[in-house]
Amino acid sequence: MLEIKNATKVFNPGTVNEKIAINDVSLTLNNGDFVTVIGSNGAGKSTLLNAVAGVFRLDGGSILIDGNDITGIPEYKRAKFIGRVFQDPMTGTAADMQIEENLALAARRGKKRTLRWAITKKERERYKEALASLGLGLEDRLTAKVGLLSGGQRQSVALLMATINSPQLLLLDEHTAALDPKTAAKVLEITEKIVTEERLTTLMVTHNMRDAIAHGNRLIMMNAGKIIFEVSGDEKKKLTVEALLAKFAEASGSVFSNDRALLG
Amino acid sequence: MGLLNSMPGAVAQGLIWGIMAIGVYITYKILDIPDLTVDGSMVTGACVGAVLVSLGVNIWIAMLAAFFAGVLAGLLTGVFHTFLGIPAILSGILTQLILWSVNLKTLGQANMSVSARVYNVALSQLNKGDAILKLAIICAVLIGVLYMFFGTEFGAAMRATGNNPKMSRAQGINTDFMKVVGLMLSNGIVAFSGALLMQYQGAADINMGRGAIVVGLAAVIIGEVLFGKISVNFAVRLGGVVAGGIIYYIVYQTVIFLGIDTDLLKMLSAIVVAIFLAVPYWKKRFTRPKIKQGESGVSGDA
């Protein structure tokens, strides 16, 4: 489904701040894979996701979706295949626009935007149902500005937007990191529900080791721009945080350090 | 001339500048781009309109041509900004300078009289009542068309671009394209208002657009302050912008009536706009942020 081949990205090349963010990374996702990504600070997790989303051009390697090379395609065109939720709740939604307007914008992802009305009566019903499924009471606030919502509510709406048209690939970039633990758990629960129901191929970066183990069918660990450890299936289910930390020390030769990491 | 006698003129000029300010609103408020092209494109509209009318072209066709001349000016600024990567403010200044030459060449001289006594124009200060009526109708139609436009899929994508470009790209919106189209639309409207002002004054002048952006911003801000609280409806907001233009000119005429040195008027306008632009910033600096309870709580009804 998604093939990342020998992807390399160097930030600030030729300066003292030069940083090889991802270094010759290859990764293949099969249809329906739910892959969690963990790693210490600056390991290249977000860079990998942004490379797939097309935020910048790769310095080497290629990216394919369903066999089509999308390496040179700009970000806004890739959106046709890809749904994304960001870490910052402010980033994923248009704060000054209504909830239904945000959803309608997302529903037209990858389609031509014409001079027809931005939102129809029929889709309004559909949004109402989708919002009701979140269980946050947002179904009665279709015309409320998204900026009035709490962080968790905004992330839930962003999640709905990202998945509204069943994208071929869902990219979640630490989308619960900015939320308090209780809210994060709720958003993650919604994530799990949508991903399972729609059988979405998903790449989820997380700072929470326990979440990384509990969700998805595959787990990859990154360090210094490389994938250093991968586990899937039954082996992943049996994984513990302690075992994961040991693996990290073994594979990287250093101690896992992430100022946001939740180990327990 | 009494103050009261100058009011119809103030209303008519205010309506024209209100139309201009609607153009400013599209870039400044909707796209979040401070566009200085308008100082030039307003004059471009006046020059194109004046030349065509003097050649005997129908005034409405001349106004349409003025609109499209502005559209081209906006296209140039848009290309500077998006394709060439030049900061928005500088892009506008560059186009403004280019337009100075273009306007001089178009007009062939620094100013040109287009008297309503000689040419067939749509409105003139010689008949203020008629001018106000026609301008009010033009405003209403323009607001109606824009209200519908920004309610379409395309218009919503443009609003999203100004509100959150990163999110817009993630939702498949070509934000650069949206910015260019927005700049074109905005400058088209501004140039159209220039053609109206040319008719009203009975002349096109190479200097008539100097400081136009400040007047436009003043109208937008006045409209926001006075009408922002009434309704969030887009049409009401645009109506507020036009009202802002009218209020600006009523104050302007009053200040002149009170006997202030007219040489100082532009400075005073700029200072007033600077103060209003500073208010939100200082408010934020000196008021404690209110911490809402359950800020990040999912269940919280924030």
* Cross-chain Cβ contact A76/B175 below 8 Å: yes
Put simply, whether B172 touches A (Cβ < 8 Å) is yes
All residues of chain B having their beta carbon less than 8 Å from the beta carbon of residue A90 are 164
Picking from A106, A137, A183, the nearest residue to B171 by CB comes out as A106
- The mean pLDDT of B129-158, rounded to a whole number, is 97
**Rounded to whole angstroms, how far apart are CA atoms B194 and B17?**
9
Q: What is the pLDDT of residue A258?
A: 63
Question: A152 contacts in B (CB within 8 Å)?
Answer: 296-298, 300
**B163 contact A CB<8A:** yes
- What's the Cα-to-Cα distance from A114 to each of A40, A111, A151, B172, rounded to whole Å? 44, 9, 31, 14
**What is the fold, at CATH topology level, of the domain defined by A2-252?**
Rossmann fold (3.40.50)
**Distance from chain centroid for Cα B201:** 18
Contact A21, A51 (CB under 8 A): no
Tell me what pLDDT residue B56 has. 94
All residues of chain A having their beta carbon less than 8 Å from the beta carbon of residue B173 are 76, 79, 105, 113
pLDDT at residue A259, rounded to an integer: 58
Contacts of B295 in chain A (CB under 8 A): 150-151
> CA distances (Å), A253 to each of A74, A223, A245, A247, A256, in order?
38, 10, 11, 10, 9
Q: d(Cα B224, Cα B241) in Å, to the nearest integer?
A: 7
Nearest C-alpha in B relative to A93:
B167
Return the pLDDT at B283: 83
B149 and A115: CB-CB below 8 Å?
A: yes
Interface test with A, best of B181, B296, B301 (most A CBs within 10 A): B296
A177 touches chain B (CB under 8 A): no
Residue B298 has its nearest CB partner, among A92, A108, A150, at A150
**Residue B221 has what pLDDT?**
92
pLDDT at B295: 43
CATH 1.20.120 holds for B6-286: no
Residue of A nearest to B173 (CA): A76
Asked whether A207 and A261 are in contact (CB, 8 A), the reply is: yes
Is the CB of residue A165 less than 8 Å from the CB of residue A157? Answer: no
CB contact under 8 A, A187 and B298: yes
Quick one: which of B25, B4, B300, B296 has its CA closest to B142? B25
Q: How far apart are CA B217 and CA B223, in angstroms?
A: 10
The whole-number mean pLDDT for each consecutive block of 10 residues of chain A, a chain of 264 residues, reads: 94 91 94 92 91 94 93 93 94 95 95 93 93 91 94 94 93 93 91 93 92 93 91 88 86 69 56
Kindly give, in sequence order, each residue whose CB lies less than 8 Å from that of residue A59, ignoring residues fewer than 6 positions away.
A8, A9, A10, A13
**CB within 8 Å: A117 and B153:** yes
- pLDDT the model gives residue A238: 87
Amino acid at position A206, single letter? T
Nearest CB to A79 within list B149, B164, B169: B169
* Contact by Cβ (8 Å): B240, B223: yes
- Helix, strand or coil, per DSSP, at residue A78: helix
Any idea which residue has 């700029």 for tokens?
B270
Domain ranges of chain B: 6-286
For B50-69, what is each residue's pLDDT tens digit?
999 999 999 999 999 999 99
Give contacts of A 50-109 with B, CB under 8 A. Answer: 53, 74-77, 79-80, 84, 86, 89-97, 101, 104-106, 108-109
pLDDT of residue A245: 87
Gap from A204 CA to chain B (nearest CA, Å): 16
Question: Which residues in chain A have Cβ-Cβ distances shorter than 8 Å to B160?
Answer: 94, 97, 105
Q: Does A121 touch chain B (CB under 8 A)?
A: no
Please say if the pLDDT value at position B119 is more than 50: yes
Among chain A residues, the shortest Cα distance to B164 is held by: A94
With bands split at pLDDT 50, 70 and 90, how would you rate the model's confidence at B37? very high
B237 close to A (CB below 8 A): no
Instruction: Give me the pLDDT at residue A263, please.
Output: 57
10 Å Cβ neighbour count for A41? 11
Is B294 a residue whose pLDDT tops 80?
Answer: no
